[in-house]
Amino acid sequence: MNLKELAASLNLSQTTVSRALNGYPEVRAETRARVLKAARAAHYEPNTRAQRLATGRSMTVGHVIPLSDQHQMVNPIFSDFLASAGEVYAREGYDLLLSIVGVDEVEAAYRKLASNGSVDGLMVHGPRVTDARIPLLKSLGLPFIVHGRSAGSETCSWLDIQNRAAFEHATNFLIDLGHCRIGLINGLEVFDFAHRRRQGYDAALQARGVSPNPAWVTCDEMTEEFGYRSANAMLDLDDAPTAFLTSSILSAIGVRRAVAHRGLTLGREVSLITHDDVLSYLRNGGDGLAFTATRSPIRDAGRRAAEMLMSLIDAPQQGPLQELWPVELTLGRTTGPAV
Amino acid sequence: MNLKELAASLNLSQTTVSRALNGYPEVRAETRARVLKAARAAHYEPNTRAQRLATGRSMTVGHVIPLSDQHQMVNPIFSDFLASAGEVYAREGYDLLLSIVGVDEVEAAYRKLASNGSVDGLMVHGPRVTDARIPLLKSLGLPFIVHGRSAGSETCSWLDIQNRAAFEHATNFLIDLGHCRIGLINGLEVFDFAHRRRQGYDAALQARGVSPNPAWVTCDEMTEEFGYRSANAMLDLDDAPTAFLTSSILSAIGVRRAVAHRGLTLGREVSLITHDDVLSYLRNGGDGLAFTATRSPIRDAGRRAAEMLMSLIDAPQQGPLQELWPVELTLGRTTGPAV
DNA sequence: TCTTTTTTTCAAAGCGCTTTGAGTCACTGC
DNA sequence: GCAGTGACTCAAAGCGCTTTGAAAAAAAGA
């Protein structure tokens, strides 16, 4: 059943039926009711392909997820981010086009999405400190939101959290507890979030006159194993850290394993603060998991970023939308005074 | 730049240009080269909306991800499954439409996707023991692949692993080690995979004359916390299990935490076998994580399921495609003889 | 009653592509 | 010299919808 047939069955023109269905005012209430009833009865659904061609809008937003080449690894925050963003899109009648591409095909993917018109807007994940995608997207003229920041993002729209302040705060908190050997188990510092966290860590150490040590800092994909390995290696040092900062709760779990394996206890001999994206299947809180953490729910970010994108698509000429969210430090059971 | 303009700039008709670009034979090699060169120079990309309307194919596959209502939780396997499936789609020139919907809107979502023609095929996630989606999709006439099985899936296409056999095997293995109190920390048994795993567990106990105990079985969303809680509760019993089976590595990590918390060691006082989907950021193996596990990489499943779907879209009339993958039991350091 | 305004409906022109059916042109072979 | 064959190319007809500009019908005003 298509519009033409539906119109014929009602003895109306396609125009009238289309207007009736789309809520235009130039249709008598009685006629509209008749049309809606018939449409429902016939299970009529307008063909999206035709609709999109006719309107020139694709009613689709694109998420391009870069797949890190070596490990073929998908950042575990994506599923939660996508889930919450997806809800917003669905509510607004938009489709979500997910594009999974190797890290060096990302640029080509954006270019293609833009030029073949298959999306009305884009979400940018995992921005790097300097990121070729930002200038590219600016030049393409498609609305986009960056989840995070990057060089050149002053003039574009983004949603980010205070990574630097959060880690500065966390580091200070550990120093206040008497720790002066603090390990940082960070994400890859080519990524802006990790770079900023490092800056916060460095700044706090410097401000408090605590001397840094390169051996106390590692950066990599934030897996459990990476946390375990890093903590193990650092704990083997003569001047082993007495406290750790991790950039992901998965790495924190790895640190916990390394610590437990040595018969030590988090919050006693070793302290740990992790960043917590509040992943739905890795809740921090109940039952003693309770890492002391800088918390910022990724789902809230996904939801808000999607809303911002919708708004930008509706009114592309509006100035850049930028939101910088504060991050709270929540106390768990993994921090205690230095022994 | 659109086809019309491109054709005009070349003094050719749209037909010829279209044929040249799409590799049809009725074009002189020289002409084709000229067209391709001009297209590249002008950064021409055919408008997908128009292409899809004209061809009647949407070149899109839909993944509908049900969001469990209570916890708003996304199964962590989805991101890996999507990533690997997405690669296949990209390679074949298909888009991936991701639809995140509440668990009771799933049916409506499928119905809509089918009737407005926005996808050429569908992937069905998380089938239940009896699942209304299966008969619905059969009636809709869209190609689809079920990741898992369900009542009525005998006549449709699916890819599944031997859940029942895997857990029967694992249970037998534990019994062979002398364990006769075995806890099962399962997923929600409304889901087919969990139901089958339970069957395997039950069957092994029965066959070996080991008496079951309802207190040794729990089912829920497979979080870390759930594993921790379940193990804790069971270890508090007078007749506490000496071994555990878990349906997810996350729950296994929770069990490990509970066990460690009591000063016990996995592989010594308590044994543990987990199912391992080989999630990219939760590798089992290196550095002592090494759970004894029934392994089945979810990425392989995603890739293969996507290939099957592509094949089904290309030739929808072909008989149902069904693959049942064996699951291997790999030894780690978390199993040992009962004490 | 007749014009003017408003309401309601319509025919037809796109949107940018693919594909059909027909045409042109240069070669063959008889 | 002419039909017969390939090799190329083209004009035009969709695909199913939205939207414009115009017309018909109904209501209002003079």
In this complex, the residue with its CA at the shortest distance from the C1' of nucleotide D13 is B54
Do A266 and A290 contact (CB within 8 A), yes or no? no
How far are the Cα atoms of A65, A91, A303 from residue A308, in angstroms, in the given order? 19, 14, 9
Do B76 and A79 contact (CB within 8 A), yes or no? yes
Q: Give the end-to-end CA distance of chain A in Å, rounded to a whole number.
A: 76
pLDDT of residue A42: 92
Contacts of A265 (CB under 8 A, 6+ apart): A259
Burial class from Cβ neighbours inside 10 Å (0-12, 13-18, 19+) for residue B236 reads: exposed
Q: In what order do the strands lie in the sheet with B292-295?
A: B217-219, B182-186, B243-246, B271-276, B292-295, B328-330
| Residue B74's pLDDT band (cuts 50, 70, 90) | confident
Place of tokens 């105990």: B213
**Residue B12, CB, less than 7 Å from strand D?**
yes
pLDDT of residue B139: 93
CA/C1' separation B124–C14 (Å): 38
pLDDT of residue A319: 83
Considering only CA atoms, which of A282, A302, A311 is closest in space to residue A123?
A302
Say which range, A58-67, B26-35, B63-72, B138-147, has the weakest mean pLDDT. B63-72
| Residue A103's pLDDT band (cuts 50, 70, 90) | confident
Considering only CA atoms, which of B100, B153, B147, B126 is closest in space to residue B303?
B147
Do A118 and A62 contact (CB within 8 A), yes or no? yes
B91 touches chain A (CB under 8 A): no
Burial class from Cβ neighbours inside 10 Å (0-12, 13-18, 19+) for residue B25 reads: exposed
Query: Helix (H, G, I), strand (E, B), or coil: what is residue B95?
Result: strand
Considering only CA atoms, which of B170, B237, B176, B179 is closest in space to residue B211?
B179
Phi first, then psi, for residue B294 (nearest 5°) are -90, 110
**Residue A2, CB, less than 7 Å from strand D?**
yes
pLDDT, average across residues B307-313: 97
Query: Is the per-residue pLDDT at B42 higher than 70?
Result: yes
Query: Is the per-residue pLDDT at A157 higher than 90?
Result: yes
How far are the Cα atoms of A338, B243, B264, B293, B302 from residue B270, in angstroms, in the given order? 33, 5, 7, 15, 33
Say which range, A329-333, B9-13, B45-49, B279-283, has the weakest mean pLDDT. B279-283
| Residue B75's pLDDT band (cuts 50, 70, 90) | confident
pLDDT above 90: percentage of residues in chain B: 82
| Residue A70's pLDDT band (cuts 50, 70, 90) | low
Q: Which H or E element spans position B116?
A: none
CA/C1' separation B92–C2 (Å): 69
pLDDT in tens, B172-190: 999 999 999 999 999 999 9
Interface of A with B in 49-78 (CB under 8 A): 49-50, 52-53, 56, 58, 63, 65, 67, 71-76, 78
pLDDT in tens, A254-283: 999 899 889 899 999 999 999 999 998 888
Interface of A with B in 96-115 (CB under 8 A): 96-101, 112, 115
pTM (predicted TM-score): 0.93
**Residue B54, CB, less than 7 Å from strand D?**
yes
pLDDT of residue A20: 93
Query: Helix (H, G, I), strand (E, B), or coil: what is residue B112?
Result: helix
Query: Is the per-residue pLDDT at B287 higher than 70?
Result: no
Q: Which nucleotide is nearest to B7 if distance is taken from CA to C1'? A: D10
Report the DSSP pairing between strands A243-246 and A60-67. unpaired
CA/C1' separation A29–D28 (Å): 21
Which of B52, B83, B116 is closest, CB to CB, to A100?
B83
pLDDT of residue A289: 60
pLDDT of residue A72: 72
Query: Is the per-residue pLDDT at A102 higher than 90?
Result: no
Query: Helix (H, G, I), strand (E, B), or coil: what is residue A130?
Result: coil
Interface of B with A in 244-263 (CB under 8 A): 250, 253, 256-257, 260-261
Query: Is the per-residue pLDDT at B285 higher than 80?
Result: no
Name the β-bridge partners of A115: none
Average pLDDT value over all residues in chain A: 93
pLDDT above 70: percentage of residues in chain B: 98
pLDDT of residue B70: 67
pLDDT of residue B307: 98
**Residue B48, CB, less than 7 Å from strand C?**
no
pLDDT of residue B151: 93
